[in-house]
Structure 1
Amino acid sequence: MRKQHCGDVMQWRDLKEMLAGLEGPPDYSFEQLAREDIPQLTQLLRTWYPDICVGTESRHLEPSFYEREVFLRGEAPDRPLFAVLSRARDSRDIIGLLTLEKNVRGLQISASMGAVEPSHRGLGLGQYGLTLLETIGRSIGAEVALYYSTLKAARGQLNAERRGFQLVGIVPAFDMDAIAPGTVKRVYEALYAKVLTSPERIHLPDWNALIPSTRALFTHLFGQHPADLTALSERTLRHG
């Protein structure tokens, strides 16, 4: 039987170890966030991403958030979040941040936030966020990776699908966002998932326990349930 709550389950490790074998973008490097980088990072985020002042992601503007919740380089790994800095190889400037959050009890990993300095957007760096999410997730033993994408632009949605993440829902009123200067509203976000474990570890829901609307959504997302296929085959034989 799997021991799910032992101390060695889903432990963050050295970033190079977790990314072993992953070839990163040629013009950028990845490193674990260090305590001394926090003041500069929080100031940079305010200039890169003005909308961050509201909603769940606003916690990334608070130095205390990193000190309390994030596994910082050279410090205790028993924190729920890991922060990956991106630097330009030539200048060593910080030009990106990705934060990942683990749920040890559920063996889940999710991307809390990704941000790239505006002049470096569209050059391919942002596409590595989902690769890092999956690679680090597999390295620490996560069995499913979750990713919420904004619906303000198509790029995040396309990146998720290109990397094998499946759209499993759209969550209404998921979070707060600045949709225009001086206007903050609750917004829809798309939820993507990628299973990182073997099929035999996954239990399909009982078809008879699903109501019609749930059956319709299940079929739309994942294809026909085996029990539904069996029933269809039996109906065809009876009326064929």
Structure 2
Amino acid sequence: MRRQRTTDVMQWRGLQEMLGELGTPPGYSFEQLAREDIPRTTELLHTWYPDICVGTESRHLEPAFYEREVFLRGESPDRPLYAVLSRSTETGDIIGLLTLEKNIRGLQISASMGAVEPSHRGLGLGQHGLTLLEVIGRSIGAEVALYYSTLKAARGQLNAERRGFLLVGIVPAFDMDAIAPGTVKRVYEALYAKVLAHPERVHIPDWNALIPSTRALFTHLFGPHPADLTARPERKLRHG
């Protein structure tokens, strides 16, 4: 049997094709980032999101990052990242950016960054980012979606839980962030996951291979393991 080429797996496509029948929040539209939008987008990010100047997300301030790593509208899809612009349908102004990154060998998709113009925050647009992450992930064949949330505010954490993402860990010193003017430190971030694969594709680890601390964490996150005879029978294992 011929093996499928890596380049044939998890291919980005046009945004509307990947979104299917998913609607947009009232007053907003979504579109794939185009080369001509890069200068304006990076300029806006500086003003929307001052903390972005440090840490992993700072790459979004560099035009060369988009030219090198992002599938731009009408160009080669063989790039690891996809960028979705949000615009106001009233003014046509860019008011949001979401970038998604795929790992084709692991069939994973993750949200690299999401930013919304300050006056539009809290109106539902940011919440739609996790829906885009899941819908686009399923469309291209991802089997798990990952989302890191800042712990500086509760909104991202609540959005993840409301959309069925499971908190699977808190990563200490995960990234750099500006915690106050002139003060940059390494920060904790929450890791959320949503399994998109069929349950038959997911292997549950051998209970006997887990040490007491990992047994305790596994049970806390996913419920009792099927091999844990001390578990109450009415509780079921959660797969995410």
TM-score by length of 2: 0.94
SS across alignment from 1:160: helix
* Pair 1:215–1:4, CA change in 2 (3 A): farther
CA distance in 1, matches of 2:64, 2:154: 32
What residue number does 1:114 align with? 114
Report if the CA contact (8 A) 2:224-2:231 is conserved: no
C-alpha displacement at 1:7, in angstroms? 2.7
State how 1:204-219 maps to structure 2 within 5 Å. 204-219=204-219
**Equivalent residue letter for 2:62:** E
CA distance in 2, matches of 1:138, 1:131: 11
CA distance in 2, matches of 1:72, 1:187: 31
CA distance in 1, matches of 2:91, 2:37: 16
What residue number does 2:164 align with? 164
What residue number does 1:149 align with? 149
What residue number does 1:20 align with? 20
What residue number does 1:84 align with? 84
The answer to whether residue 66 in structure 2 is matched with residue 66 in structure 1 is yes
Spell out, residue by residue over 1:35-80, the C-alpha distance to the aligned partner (whole angstroms, 9 max, x if none). Answer: 0000000000000000000000000000000000000000000000
Report if the CA contact (8 A) 1:5-1:104 is conserved: no
CA distance in 2, matches of 1:58, 1:149: 16
Report if the CA contact (8 A) 1:4-1:105 is conserved: no
The answer to whether residue 40 in structure 2 is matched with residue 40 in structure 1 is yes
**Equivalent residue letter for 1:205:** P
Unaligned runs of 5+ residues in structure 1 are 234-240
C-alpha displacement at 1:6, in angstroms? 3.6
SS across alignment from 2:8: coil
CA distance in 2, matches of 1:103, 1:134: 14
Unaligned runs of 5+ residues in structure 2 are 234-240
What residue number does 1:237 align with? none
Spell out, residue by residue over 1:97-126, the C-alpha distance to the aligned partner (whole angstroms, 9 max, x if none). Answer: 000000000000000000000000011100
C-alpha displacement at 1:231, in angstroms? 8.1
The answer to whether residue 29 in structure 2 is matched with residue 29 in structure 1 is yes
CA distance in 1, matches of 2:181, 2:131: 33
C-alpha displacement at 1:230, in angstroms? 7.2
* Percent identity of paired positions between Structure 1 and Structure 2: 85
SS across alignment from 1:229: coil
Spell out, residue by residue over 1:115-151, the C-alpha distance to the aligned partner (whole angstroms, 9 max, x if none). Answer: 0000000111000000000000000000000000000
What residue number does 2:57 align with? 57
Report if the CA contact (8 A) 1:5-1:105 is conserved: no
C-alpha displacement at 1:4, in angstroms? 6.0
Report if the CA contact (8 A) 2:6-2:104 is conserved: no
Q: Larger radius of gyration, structure 1 or 2? A: 1
* Pair 1:108–1:114, CA change in 2 (3 A): same
CA distance in 2, matches of 1:221, 1:5: 35
C-alpha displacement at 1:3, in angstroms? 5.2
SS across alignment from 1:224: coil
